[in-house]
């Protein structure tokens, strides 16, 4: 028998045996070393009390972020649950988005919204497409735009090059706008040929002079791009009111540093306020200057914290005349998203859109500014029912950021601030970006936008109106603490009707 096995095989087996003993020995030695390190250190109680094995806690904690989404209940997770994410994924892929058997949406939970259908829904032949809305009628170049669902601000920096390229191309295909976010204008924004809203954050990236103040010359240059249709002055963002933009140093690449005129690799923290804007009058001055120099509609973005300040702004407009008003107000929600924010701000500062939108719309009505100032709402409005609610509450347009991130392939890994986004959406790591093909994802971006508008239309027709912008508060109902619903119109009575 022995003679039948070649000598060389014995040699290989012997080497493998030695190797095995060596690997086991090294591993055992490594475990002993880790044990001694863990026992000796006193910084981490778990590692000290449960040497070696306690280390797994950190690994599981890290992996939990990725795995949670596969095991949690369909309606359980935050910021977005699986039911919401899946709807977006399927809409973006243009897959059948019908649901079998029955709803998993518990309509007895306090705060839930549903719609009051009518006995005689709008027949298909009577349904009409949303009309164009004019923003900034007194600007030299007013902007007329029909689609009510558009892409919210996300800077090139917070999101990656292929992500911006896909958004730009997808926006063009769907005929919607793309907001540049506060990181300035990159060639990737222009690439697809879509309409752009140029956002000016407190650091005024792209339009600032050497001293960090607004440069009229640079503003003119940006406005010179035909694609740039409007300017948005960002006073605050729902995820971090009171704090300027934050781009962690690890995401400040050479190219991004060049666009923003900041040092490579260093955290880019924008000031928490515009240096020249301290009150309503100064804000109107600034808006007037941007509109005058650019010739294009100019508005503000904010997350409301105090309605008296909004009233002050309306009073200041009243004094100066209606033309001085911001052309639009983008209302961001206290639970809005971000690339990076301090936890107390992301969790507990700023009024959520559910409350701020109807109150802000009513405030504008009280000052007879509702027609003049268009309202754009943002904040977790990623599915048709949420968008339909915002329209019924009084928004003219909806801006959406994270829904479009899902359309780009985001899996809610919550890594936007780390440059390690596994889907390439918020990282500048080329290896991780490789899976995000701008051409493919542009199609998904466009399909998501188109499907959401189509399905908001379905809700509108069920409520008996011809198009989504005709939805009114009386079409929505909200579930109260008692599990009973009341009309949203009763909760927030229409100001004009009341007067």
Ligand X SMILES: Cc1cc2nc3c(=O)[nH]c(=O)nc-3n(C[C@H](O)[C@H](O)[C@H](O)COP(=O)(O)O)c2cc1C
Closest C-alpha to 363, from 413, 325, 311, 432: 311
| CA dihedral for 133, 387, 130, 338, sign (positive or negative) | positive
Q: Is 329 in the site for ligand X (CB under 6 A)?
A: no
Closest C-alpha to 400, from 75, 192, 88: 88
Q: Is 301 in the site for ligand X (CB under 6 A)?
A: yes
Shortest Å, Cβ 282 to ligand X: 20
Query: How many amino acids of this chain bind ligand X (CB under 6 A)?
Result: 30
Q: Is 197 in the site for ligand X (CB under 6 A)?
A: no
Contact 153, 179 (CB under 8 A): yes
Task: Point out which span in 6-14, 135-143, 151-159, 443-451 binds ligand X (CB under 6 A).
Answer: 151-159
Closest C-alpha to 39, from 55, 25, 27: 55
- Token pair belonging to 81: 């649950």
Shortest Å, Cβ 157 to ligand X: 8
Shortest Å, Cβ 419 to ligand X: 12
SS (H, E, C) 338-353: CCCCCHHHHHHCCCCH
Q: Is 383 in the site for ligand X (CB under 6 A)?
A: no
3 state SS of 490: helix
Q: Is 337 in the site for ligand X (CB under 6 A)?
A: yes
Single residue of 82, 161, 370, 380 touching ligand X by CB under 6 A: 380
Long-range contacts of 427-435, Cβ-Cβ distance < 8 Å, separation of 24 or more: 427/160, 427/251, 428/160, 428/161, 428/251, 428/253, 428/256, 433/160, 433/161, 433/162, 435/409
What part of residues 199-218 is at the interface with ligand X (CB under 6 A)? 199
Shortest Å, Cβ 400 to ligand X: 4
Single residue of 81, 400, 433, 485 touching ligand X by CB under 6 A: 400
- Token pair belonging to 242: 């009171």
Shortest Å, Cβ 197 to ligand X: 10
Phi, psi angle pair for 376, to nearest 5°: -115, 125
Question: How would you class 390 by CB atoms within 10 Å of its CB: exposed for 0-12, middle for 13-18, buried for 19 or more?
Answer: buried
Single residue of 130, 136, 181, 299 touching ligand X by CB under 6 A: 181
CA 487 to chain centre: 29
Q: Is 339 in the site for ligand X (CB under 6 A)?
A: yes
What part of residues 240-259 is at the interface with ligand X (CB under 6 A)? 245
Task: Point out which span in 64-72, 146-154, 218-226, 449-457 binds ligand X (CB under 6 A).
Answer: 146-154
Q: Is 152 in the site for ligand X (CB under 6 A)?
A: yes
Q: Is 299 in the site for ligand X (CB under 6 A)?
A: no
Q: Is 415 in the site for ligand X (CB under 6 A)?
A: no
Shortest Å, Cβ 335 to ligand X: 7
Task: Point out which span in 12-20, 50-58, 116-124, 399-407 binds ligand X (CB under 6 A).
Answer: 399-407
CA 21 to chain centre: 54
User: By the criterion CB under 6 A, which residues form the site for ligand X?
Assistant: 152-155, 158-159, 181-182, 199, 234, 237-238, 245, 301, 332-333, 336-339, 378-380, 382, 400-403, 416, 426
């Amino acid at each position: 028998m022995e003679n039948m096995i070649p000598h060389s095989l014995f040699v290989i087996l012997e080497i493998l045996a030695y190797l095995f003993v060596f690997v086991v020995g090294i591993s055992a030695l490594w475990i002993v070393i880790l044990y001694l390190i863990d026992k000796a250190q006193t910084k981490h109680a778990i590692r000290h009390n449960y040497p070696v094995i306690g280390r797994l806690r950190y690994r599981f904690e890290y992996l939990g972020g990725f795995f949670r989404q596969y095991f949690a209940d369909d309606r359980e997770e935050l910021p977005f649950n699986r039911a919401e994410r899946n709807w977006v994924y399927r809409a973006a892929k243009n897959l059948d988005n019908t649901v079998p058997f029955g709803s998993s949406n518990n309509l007895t939970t306090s705060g839930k919204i549903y719609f009051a259908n009518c006995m005689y829904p709008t027949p298909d032949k009577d349904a009409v497409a949303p009309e164009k809305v004019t923003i900034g009628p007194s600007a030299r170049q007013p902007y007329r735009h029909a689609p009510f669902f558009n892409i919210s601000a996300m800077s090139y920096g917070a999101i990656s090059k292929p992500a911006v390229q896909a958004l730009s191309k997808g926006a063009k295909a769907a005929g919607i706008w793309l907001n540049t976010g506060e990181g300035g204008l990159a060639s990737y924004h222009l690439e697809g040929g879509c309409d752009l809203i140029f956002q000016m954050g407190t650091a005024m990236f792209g339009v600032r002079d050497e001293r960090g103040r607004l440069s009229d010359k640079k503003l003119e240059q940006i406005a010179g791009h035909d694609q740039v249709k409007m300017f948005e002055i960002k006073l605050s963002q729902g995820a971090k009111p009171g704090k300027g933009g934050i781009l962690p140093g690890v995401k400040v690449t050479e190219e991004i540093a060049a666009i923003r005129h900041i040092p490579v690799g260093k955290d880019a923290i924008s000031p928490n306020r515009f240096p020249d804007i301290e009150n309503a009058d100064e804000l109107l001055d600034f808006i007037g200057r941007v509109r005058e120099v650019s010739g294009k509609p100019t508005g503000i973005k904010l997350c409301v914290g105090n309605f008296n300040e909004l009233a002050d702004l309306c009073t200041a407009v009243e004094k100066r005349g209606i033309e001085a008003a911001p052309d639009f107000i983008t209302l961001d929600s206290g639970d809005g998203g971000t690339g990076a924010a301090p936890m107390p701000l992301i969790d507990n500062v700023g009024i959520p859109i559910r409350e701020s939108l109807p109150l802000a719309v009513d405030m504008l009505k009280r000052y007879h500014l509702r027609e003049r100032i268009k309202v754009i709402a943002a904040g977790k409005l990623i599915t048709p029912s949420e968008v339909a609610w915002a329209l019924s509450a009084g928004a003219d347009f909806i801006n959406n950021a994270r829904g479009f991130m899902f359309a780009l392939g985001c899996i809610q890994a919550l890594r936007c601030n780390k440059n390690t986004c596994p889907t390439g959406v918020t990282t500048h790591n080329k290896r991780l970006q490789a899976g995000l093909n701008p051409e493919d994802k542009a199609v998904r971006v466009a399909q998501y936008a188109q499907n959401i508008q189509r399905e908001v239309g379905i809700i509108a027709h069920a409520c008996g109106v011809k198009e989504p912008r005709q939805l009114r508060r009386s079409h929505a109902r909200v579930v109260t603490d008692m599990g009973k619903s009341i009309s949203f119109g009763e909760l927030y009575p229409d100001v004009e009707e009341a007067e």
